[in-house]
Structure 1
Amino acid sequence: MGVKLEIFRMVIYLTFPVAMFWVSNQAEWFEDHVIQRKRELWPPEKLQEIEEFKERIRKRREEKLLRDAQQNS
């Protein structure tokens, strides 16, 4: 019973990761589940707001660096 049990356990240990890898690399599955979920969580309107916020922060940082550089000169 010991060898059969060990073989069964090894098959289970190897099958699960290979099956998960295979499922997660299916293009249809990825499009249906992952991309759709991403669109639900972060709709394009929110992404635009985030990009605008990042741009404002970048501009402020650049202005601060310019002021600091001018003061140190």
Structure 2
Amino acid sequence: MTLYLTFPVAMFWISNQAEYFEEYVIRRKREDQRRELEEFKERMRKQREERLLRTAQQNS
């Protein structure tokens, strides 16, 4: 009976300890943001190249 009461309370207490997860969350967000930024840069680069090619083809 004690185990049934102790386990959920312990899991709740551990999951609410910010210092255990704070570093992990910050690192994870930075990795995700870098990846998204690189993908965004690549999309913008492709769009600019396509736009330049279209204008070059129209001018020639």
TM-score category (smaller protein):
0.5 to 0.7
- The number of residues matched between the two structures is 44
Q: Percent of aligned positions with the same letter in both sequences?
A: 7
User: Hey, what's the Cα distance between the residues in 2 that align with 1:38 and 1:60?
Assistant: 33
Normalising to structure 2: TM-score of the pair? 0.55
- State how far apart, in whole Å, the 2-side matches of 1:50 and 1:32 are: 25
The CA distance in 2 between the partners of 1:53 and 1:43, in whole Å, is: 15
Runs of 4+ in structure 1 displaced over 4 angstroms?
A: none
Separation in structure 2 between the aligned mates of residue 35 and residue 67 of structure 1, nearest angstrom: 48
Gaps of 5+ in 2: 52-60
Unaligned runs of 5+ in 1: 1-22, 24-28
| RMSD (CA atoms) | 2.9
Give distance in 2, aligned partners of 1:59 and 1:35: 36
Match of 1:58 among 29, 36, 39: 36
Displacement of 1:46 after TM fit?
A: 1.2
